[in-house]
Amino acid sequence: MRNKQTREMALAHNSTKMHEQVSRFIELLKREFPEIAIDVDAPKNPDGEWWLDISVGDFTTAVAWRPAFGFGLFTSEESGFGDKPNEVYRDVELAYRRICKLEASYRLHSTQKMWLRDLRHLTDIPQTRLADLLGKEQAEISRLEQREDVKLSTIAAYVRAIGGELLLSVRFPRFEAGIEPPAELNKKTRAST
């Protein structure tokens, strides 16, 4: 309890001095990942080295920030003592997008299946751009990406907008096959006549 109070006191002391870039980085990540947990480890001197311990589900990473350099990201699995960052981003938007991509890559290589947001991160398309492509508000896209029950046509439109194609397949004990909803078949028939 004492440790947590000390950390919170330090954060409160430094919070008004938290650099704009660090705040903006956290804001972008929280908007992208509503379920994210970020532990802010502030330096004694606000102009010193900040650490952000980030976790999104099973994906965890530490990000450092120093005023003279920007955001330091660690992409190597090998860790020793006093490691320096593998990648350095002076631009907060680029740093945030890189974290998105790292999280998506982690899920791609893990046994967890991906969902819509993971695909979008792998194709490097920001929510704002996708919203424009689909003629929706960014908040709608954010809500869509968190829903579990989504219309097939909505998923198809989303995947098309980020440059892919939705394929459906079924598996039975005696056979496997691709399937397509009638609406899609009708679209193709109208297109070919």
Partner 1 sequence: MATKAERLREFLRRLANAEPVRTHDEAYDLLSRTLTGVENEYTDIPVDPEKWKEDGRMYPPQPDSERESDRPGFRLYRSRAHKIYIGEHGTIKIYEVKGRCVINKLGKWR
Where on the chain is the footprint of partner 1 (CB under 8 A)? 2-3, 6-7, 9-10, 13, 41-45, 47-49, 51, 53, 62, 64, 66, 68-69, 72, 74, 76, 78-86, 88
Q: How far is the CB of 159 from partner 1 (least distance, A)?
A: 36
Q: How far is the CB of 107 from partner 1 (least distance, A)?
A: 22
Q: How far is the CB of 9 from partner 1 (least distance, A)?
A: 8
Which CB, 11 or 159, lies closer to partner 1?
A: 11
Which CB, 73 or 119, lies closer to partner 1?
A: 73
Residue 14: CB atoms within 10 Å: 18
Q: How far is the CB of 148 from partner 1 (least distance, A)?
A: 31
Is 10 within 8 Å of 42 (Cβ atoms)? yes
Q: What span, in angstroms and rounded, lies between the C-alpha atoms of 101 and 82?
A: 25
Which CB, 2 or 113, lies closer to partner 1?
A: 2
Q: Which phi and psi (to 5°) does residue 158 adopt?
A: -60, -50
Which CB, 4 or 174, lies closer to partner 1?
A: 4
- Which of 84, 86, 97, 96 minimizes the C-alpha distance to 49? 84
The helix or strand, by DSSP H or E, that contains position 56, with its residue range, turns out to be strand 50-56
Q: How far is the CB of 55 from partner 1 (least distance, A)?
A: 12
Residue 114: CB atoms within 10 Å: 14
Q: Which phi and psi (to 5°) does residue 48 adopt?
A: -90, -155
Torsion, Cα of 130, 20, 75, 105 (10° steps): -20
Which CB, 84 or 171, lies closer to partner 1?
A: 84
